[in-house]
Amino acid sequence: MAHGQELAKAGVPPVKRASRWPARLDLIQSLTGLALAAFLCVHLLLDSAILIGPEAANWVARFFEGEPFLGRGYPGIVSLAAVGLLLLIVVHAALALRKFPHDYRQYRAFQAHVKHFRHGDTRLWWWQVVTGFLLFFLAAPHLYVVITQPEAIGAVPSAQRVFEGRAWLLYALLLPVVLFHAAAGVYRLAVKWGWPSSRGGGAPRAGIRKAVWGVALAYLAIGLAALGAYVGIGMGLAG
């Protein structure tokens, strides 16, 4: 206290404590991104129930409607869950926008930085920005259908939407884009927060990268196989 008074008498301005909010917002952005990546993994695994058979896909649909717990299905539960997911996406996107280039001058400076240093992780961040922008257009139609037509889930309704409604075009684009975005995000989270720690015998950065992209490719194969199954069922219904 006395030292501070001496500095004030000497005309030295007091040092302001840095705000903790940027760190808090970074943490919230990381947690929401991790939650969305976890949801994506579970969602794709449940969607792949169609590979077992239409009965399995229908059971998953009725499960989300609450039928095993409430005695009958309530499609509104699906809509509420989709709205909650949409809000989580909005929060994550809004926090991520803080770090995007906000004008052409910032964009040019960033591109010059990438070209000069040729840093792989920086290029990866930029592609994460690009895929995040694309998801705004690709994920919105999917969520809109789930929110407004929650009863149209299950083997037959989904197959009709995928084939007759040509939704397979949307999903064929959405799958690789969302998986790339999620994989890049998980990798950057692992590097940013130091997990696993190399000092504790954890995998080096290259090992983390290979593991993340390997998992992403496996999920891409599962997702495309499920999409192909729905197309096949839809073709059978149309024929």
Residue indicated by tokens 């994550």: 92
On whether the CB atoms of residues 164 and 233 are closer than 8 A, the answer is no
Which uninterrupted H or E stretch holds 175? helix 167-192
Q: Where are the beta strands (DSSP E) in the chain?
A: none
Task: Verify cis geometry, omega within 30 degrees of 0, for the bond prior to 196.
Answer: yes
Distance CA 79, CA 62 (A): 13
Of 3, 42, 150, 26, which is closest to residue 92 (Cα–Cα)?
A: 26
Of 177, 183, 91, 95, which is closest to residue 131 (Cα–Cα)?
A: 177
The answer to whether position 8 is within a domain reads: no
Residue 191 has what pLDDT? Answer: 85
The answer to whether position 76 is within a domain reads: yes
The answer to whether position 131 is within a domain reads: yes
The answer to whether position 13 is within a domain reads: no
Distance CA 184, CA 190 (A): 10
Of 103, 87, 97, 105, which is closest to residue 129 (Cα–Cα)?
A: 97
The answer to whether position 146 is within a domain reads: yes
CATH of the domain at 202: 1.20.1300.10
Residue 3 has what pLDDT? Answer: 55
Amino acid at 80: L
Domain residues for the domain of 175 are 20-238
Radius of gyration of the chain (CA): 23
Structure tokens, 3? 């030292």
Residue 201 has what pLDDT? Answer: 47
Residue 19's contacts (CB-CB under 8 Å, 6 or more residues apart) are: none
The answer to whether position 4 is within a domain reads: no
Tell me the average confidence (pLDDT) per consecutive run of 10 residues in the chain, 239 residues long: 56 67 88 95 96 96 93 94 96 86 68 64 85 93 94 93 94 97 93 65 74 96 97 91
Counting the structural domains of the chain, the total is 1
The answer to whether position 215 is within a domain reads: yes
Residue 171 has what pLDDT? Answer: 96
Structure tokens, 25? 């917002």
Distance CA 185, CA 208 (A): 12
